[in-house]
Amino acid sequence: MLAAIKTAAEAGKGLYGMKALGGGHLLERPEEAFAFILSIPELASVAVGMSTAEEVAYNTCLFSGQTVPEEVKSKVRRQPRRLHIEDYCCGCGECLAKCASGALRLKDGKAVVDHQLCTRCGYCSPVCPDFCIKVI
């Protein structure tokens, strides 16, 4: 992938990195994940989802090269996470086959999650053709 990124950038394509936190898999190691993506000089930008003021503060510090205050790190790490399915889900069911915990089902033509069963592994997300599923 790094070679493909380099080739595309050399061909004049503007590239930006997405899913720096691996769809939620790297939430426990954000500094390592962001250090990796920021080490790729061919990326013009990085898309990072944020849902709290603490995440904005964390990312602002990190991306500007400042030290992230420990209290901000602590709040971000303690932020509860959940699987979110967008309203525009088409109900194709691809995600159900990937869910080893049985937390997903179809209801009224849309995928829904049982948060009691969901482990927030994120394996359902990459198979969604409409990018409806996220760990937030």
Q: Which of 40, 59, 78 is the last residue of a domain?
A: 78
Is the distance from CB of 104 to CB of 96 less than 8 angstroms? yes
Phi, psi (deg, nearest 5) at residue 44: -80, -25
Shared domain for 46 and 95, answered yes or no, is: no
The band of 101, judged by pLDDT with boundaries at 50, 70 and 90, is: very high
Using CB atoms within 10 Å of the CB of residue 41, give its burial: 0 to 12 exposed, 13 to 18 middle, 19+ buried.
exposed
104/121 same-domain check? yes
pLDDT, tens digit, for every residue of 16-35?
998 787 766 677 788 888 88
Q: Sort strands 110-113 and 104-107 into parallel, antiparallel or unpaired.
A: antiparallel
Shared domain check, 35 and 64: yes
43 and 92 together in one domain: no
CA atoms within 13 A on the CB side of 64: 9
Domain boundary among 78, 94, 122: 78
Q: What pTM does this model have?
A: 0.63
pLDDT digits (tens, 9 = 90+) for 30-88: 888 888 999 999 999 998 878 889 989 998 998 898 999 999 988 888 877 889 999 99
Identify the pLDDT of residue 25.
65
Q: Which residues pair with 46 in a beta bridge?
A: 17
